[in-house]
A and B are shown apart, each in its own frame.
Chain A
Amino acid sequence: MDDRSPSPLSLAFPLALVILAAAVVGTFFLLDWRLDVASEHGRGVDQMIFFLLVCTGPLFVAGHLAVAWFVWKSRWRDTPAYLPPSPRAEWLATLIPVLLIGAVAEGGVLAIGMPVWGQVYREEPDTLPVEIVGKQFEWIARYPGRDGKFGRTEPTLIDDVENPLGLDEDDPAATDDIVVRGALYLPSGRAASIRIRSLDVLHSFAVPVMRTKQDAVPGLVTRTQMRPTTPGKYEITCAELCGMGHYRMRGYVNVLTPEEFEAWRARQVGWFE
């Protein structure tokens, strides 16, 4: 093979890398990837993602440009001499970019990420208790009613048509429980403490616009918290493969103003009333 005449690839390849890096950056400006956000912690999640985009973007570009530059420079080199750097120089050359990436990764999660994580999982006082239950392939919401207590449920009492959660009529706490198929009603401005259950397989309660995602695990009660900021109707999806209907296991979060929410709640009738 002839090493003397530079291959056209030593021009094409760096060019391709530069175009690639530019295209990647460009798509972020051209594509409509930004999703609305309607919860308080959701804004934090977005800040976290934004921080990462702003920090890793230049790293991505720099990496590609570095490869392109080295490749481009190699075009004029045909002397076989190579001077190995001193071990110290080698360490430095590696360590500096590594520390930079480390600082972005760890700094980001510790400074921005973890406080938001806390907003989601550290239980606040005066939250609105609600329950959302996943089953193939439906989301069912439940409110504890006037007594503030969720009534007992029994798997053996489950009847998809008339009693999808298996509420126990003999439990007085269950009488005034409010059950809504496919829709969760929440007031804006107040944190909702959401207990999540599953009746059959794994599901994941995901409200993309709220940046909320929490698996529904049979046999466990999982919990997440969100404080909706903007009234509106937002889609619930399922984010854990649960069967053939996974893709259309839907529902809505209806965020109402506090007054509307109280009015809505007053209209509801307990399950055994």
Chain B
Amino acid sequence: MDRIWTFSTLVIFGAAAVLAAASSSGRGESAGTSPMIGATIKGKVVFQGKAPKDRKISVEGDKYCSSCNPEGISTERYVIGPNRELCHVFVYVKKGLEGRTFDPPKEAVLLDQKHCVYTPHVFGIMTGQELRIRNSDDTLHNIHATPKLNAEFNFGQPKKGTEEIRTFSFPEIMVPIKCDVHGWMSCYAGVVSHPFFQVTNASGTFELTELPAGEYEIEAWHEKFGTLSQTVKVGDGQTRELEFTFKKK
């Protein structure tokens, strides 16, 4: 009996050590060649068909959130412009940059929790780049990321003005982040190992600049409509335009 426990203790300790080593070491980014003034890929994302209704979320169970959102909260999923432009689409280079390495920018990405909503709702971030998570609300939020490849994190920010910093080690499309205290609060992080990504705004446009010449697969991701991808070849100094058209799944 004792021997079994001793043995299993050893096994679990060993496993813990290996796991801890794996999660903390991450990937060393070697200093890479910075891209020259190169190609540009830009375009537009639109939605075709009848837009799903944006169900207002009632938050009357929470005193604080209902006081700043008396009318309820938008899901921010179906933000579609008058000309069908689709907002909150993550566009990035999926293939074509293999073998190149890029340094993450020094400045952090800010994820703000204000009025019980995440701002931004969808964002891109480079591996190794700092994610600064701020609570601007006078209530508890917890930040629970549930990635598949990266390390899961889950912590609470009980006070207004607190900030925490996290980083991601591996590229991952997408990392869902949510607040368990306020179930409707959710956002997504697109983690890539290069700086060629953008999230569409209300105009539905995107522009990836300073790309090295080459052939790329560009993917557009939307949290409910899935992904679309196109392959495009650009030369140095060239600009190519793309249009992604999402349909209701």
Contact = CB atoms under 8 A, between A and B. Distances in A.
Nearest to B184: A161
Interface string B36-68: 000000000000000000010111111100000
B249 to A, nearest CB: 13
A136 B180 CA distance: 6
A244 B156 contact: yes
Contacts of B182: 138
Interface string A235-258: 010000001110011111000000
A164 B140 CA distance: 20
A78 interface: no
A180 interface: yes
B203 interface: no
B134 interface: no
B99 interface: no
A135 B183 contact: yes
A160 B186 contact: yes
B60 A164 contact: no
A248 B183 contact: no
Contacts of A245: 140, 142, 156, 180-181
A243 B180 contact: yes
B77 interface: yes
Contacts of A236: 61
25 contacts: A138-B61, A139-B61, A160-B178, A160-B186, A161-B57, A161-B184, A162-B75, A180-B60, A181-B59, A181-B60, A182-B58, A182-B59, A182-B61, A182-B62, A243-B180, A244-B154, A244-B156, A245-B140, A245-B156, A245-B180, A245-B181, A248-B139, A248-B140, A248-B181, A249-B181
Given A182-B58, A250-B61, 5 more contacts: A137-B181, A161-B184, A162-B75, A181-B61, A248-B181
